[in-house]
Amino acid sequence: MSQGTVIVAPGLSSFLKSLKTTPVEPSVEHFISLLKRRQIRNSRPCAIATTALLLRVVGEFKGRDAAKLVKRIREVGRQLTSAQPREVVVGNIVRRVLGLVREVVDENIDGETNATSDPGHPAPAQHDSLHRPLLTSSISQYSPLKHAAAEPMDASFQSEATSDSGDISKRPPLLASHTSYAASAGTGLTQSLFGIFSQPETPSASNTPTGQQSPIGKGMLTSLNLERLTDFSKSNTNFDLKAEVMDGIRELQDELEQSDDLIAANALDHIHSNEIILTHTASTSVQKFLLAAARKRKFTVVHAETFPHDHTATHGILLTGKKRENSTVDEADWKPLIAAGIEVYVIPDSHVYAIMSRVNKVILATHTVLANGGLVAAAGAHMIAKAAKNHQVPVVVVSGVYKLSPVYPFDLDELIEYGDASSVVPYEDGDFVDKVDVEAPLFDYVPADLVDLYITNLGGHAPSFLYRIVADHYRPEDITL
């Protein structure tokens, strides 16, 4: 690895720099050690690093066997997630890339078998509509919502779906591959939502590669995929699997880059003049969201500082717009809220309940969003959400789709990471530390019923709808890495 030459403290930027010059294996090792040492932490840096690494992995992959590529990515993914299972985002990105490979494969198979498959064929359509909800339910089998959203809107969306097919390039590919069987349940709704929210944005509002598919080439989304993968690798050799997957990963990178801006584009729909907004911790997504609203409206922000882990970053982001003095590479310069003329009041976390009666809206940053609509966020988020609920204040969660995880929280404690206790009580206080058990959880789990709205780069969603977006972004085969 190239740390010898780089004198920066190890972190995301040094990793990205070294990635260019280092071969894949050492890079994987490097990333794993960074994850383990928590030198890369939090969702966005992890996501950026993972995509960059996987791009290299795919780039260095020799051979044309898709199954082997899947196996390879999976292997890397397993290593990464076991290095730091609580950075769920790493797993998310790996799954997205796996889905990408399958996508590319499917398209090409369909391209070949197109002649034989009838687009309007009823049987696959039915198969599809039955099958999809089943798949999602395997993600969240305890979700009470699974039956509610699965069946109803069948034919009603058909017309819309077909009319949509014009701007197919703006649609996420999984859906696109549905369009020929437009009757399939739920697709219509997703499409219309995607349509609404992605229209004004740049084309990359859709998040996985779209360029390659022909509007006619359609595929079935079944678990036959794996068999097909192997079949395919034998039969088909005249397309560039690697290049297409790499293109897809680059688009994923674009998505990561743009997700904050896409989220921020919704801001004016949710923030009105003279509102009092409560938020917590230091989150670029939230800050950009508020900034976008600040361009047109005047409001007041109350910021809980999230002591003891994030308070420095919180004050930093409020004063300067950056979390740390060495801001990461991807963060372009943007001014803090105070410079945009927004009044910001910093309160200690204990004041949340006292202030809540005057707050109009709570905006939470998140670490991971789970398939059941709950979220894992910085410690203190639960009490904020709960206090908001008790005061009937709407709770809005701002999150990129890449934070949306197919994991269902069976064991909540598994998701919670505990931080450095010395930030609560310094180790100098030996007497205290010896006798008293100091705990410093980094995260809180906020159940879905405390959240009123999710705003992602795809638009606004009810918490109960998230499982559907999960189904759109991850292949069921990849749920367990």
Partner 1 sequence: MSEPTGGETAPSPAPIVNDSTTTSGTPAQPETAAPPPAPPSKDAKTTEAAAGPTKLSAAELKKQKQAEKQARRAQAKSSGPPAPQKGPSNKEGAKSQKESKQSSKDDKSKSLPMRRRNSQPSVVTLKETKKESRKESKKDSRQPGLFFGHLYNQPRQHSIVGATKEVHPAILALGLQYSSYIVCGSTARMVAMLLAFKAVIDSYQTPVGTSLARHLTSHHLSPQIDYLRSCRPLSISMGNAIRWLKDIIIKIDPSTPEAEAKRDLISEIDDFIRDRVTAADKLIIDHAVKKIENGDVILTYASSSIVEKTLVHTHKAGIKFSVIVVDSKPLFEGKQLARKLAHHGIPVKYFLVTGATHAVKQANKVFLGAHAMMSNGRLYSRVGTAIISMLAHAQSLPVIVLCESVKFTERVALDSIVGNEVAPSEEVLSEGERQELLPLKPHLPAGLLTKLGESTDKAGVEKANSSGEVLKWIEASDNLQMLQVLYDVTPAEYINMVITEYGSLPPSSVPVVHRLSMDKQETRK
Task: Kindly list the residues in this chain that would bind partner 1 in the complex (CB under 8 A).
Answer: 276, 300, 302, 305-309, 311-312, 315-316, 318-322, 325, 327, 335-339, 341-355, 357-358, 378-380, 382-383, 386-387, 390, 416, 424-425, 431-432, 435-441, 444
Nearer to partner 1, 240 or 343 (CB): 343
Name the residue nearer to partner 1 (CB basis): 416 or 453: 416
Q: At closest approach, how far in Å is the CB of 372 from partner 1?
A: 18
Burial class (CB in 10 A: 0-12, 13-18, 19+), 359: buried
Minimum CB–partner distance for residue 391 and partner 1 (Å): 10
Nearest to 175 by CA among 161, 193, 162, 187: 187
Cβ of residue 347: shortest distance to partner 1, in angstroms?
5
Other CB atoms within 10 A of residue 348 CB: 11
Distance CA 108, CA 100 (A): 13
Contact 104, 241 (CB under 8 A): yes
- Dist. CA 112–CA 381, nearest whole Å: 51
Token pair listed for 459: 């638009």
Contact partners, residue 300, CB within 8 Å, separation at least 6 = 274, 275, 276, 277, 342, 343, 344, 345
Name the minimum Å distance from CB 326 to partner 1: 9
Kindly tell me which of 346 and 453 has the beta carbon lying closer to partner 1.
346
Q: Which is nearer to partner 1, 239 or 307 (CB)?
A: 307
Closest approach, Cβ 13 to partner 1, in A, equals: 16
Q: How far is the CB of 432 from partner 1 (least distance, A)?
A: 6
Q: How far is residue 429's CA from residue 302's CA, in Å, rounded to a whole number?
A: 33
Closer Cβ to partner 1, 32 or 355, answer by number: 355
Considering the complex, what minimum distance in angstroms separates the CB of residue 422 from partner 1?
A: 12
CB of 378 to partner 1, least distance (A): 8
Q: Give how far Cα 369 sits from Cα of 314, 325, 366, 401, 437, Å.
A: 21, 28, 7, 9, 30
Give whichever of 57 and 379 is closer to partner 1, judged by the CB atom.
379
- CA gap 70, 251 in Å, rounded: 19
Length of the chain: 481
Output the smallest distance, CB 311 to partner 1, in A. Answer: 6
Closer residue to partner 1 (CB): 234 or 435: 435
What DSSP string runs through 268-337?
A: HHH--TT-EEEEES--HHHHHHHHHHHTT---EEEEE--TTTTHHHHHHHHHHS-SSSS--TT------G
Residue 441 or residue 460: which is nearer to partner 1 going by CB? 441
Q: Which is nearer to partner 1, 226 or 276 (CB)?
A: 276
**Tokens (6 digits) for 330:** 């991807």
Decide if 212 contacts 247 (C-beta within 8 A). yes
Amino acid at residue number 383: M
| Dist. CA 4–CA 181, nearest whole Å | 56
Give me the least distance between CB of 125 and partner 1, in Å please. Answer: 46
> Which is nearer to partner 1, 260 or 444 (by Cβ)?
444
Nearest Cα residue to 361 out of 430, 275, 429: 275
Neighbouring CB atoms inside 10 A of 240's CB total: 12
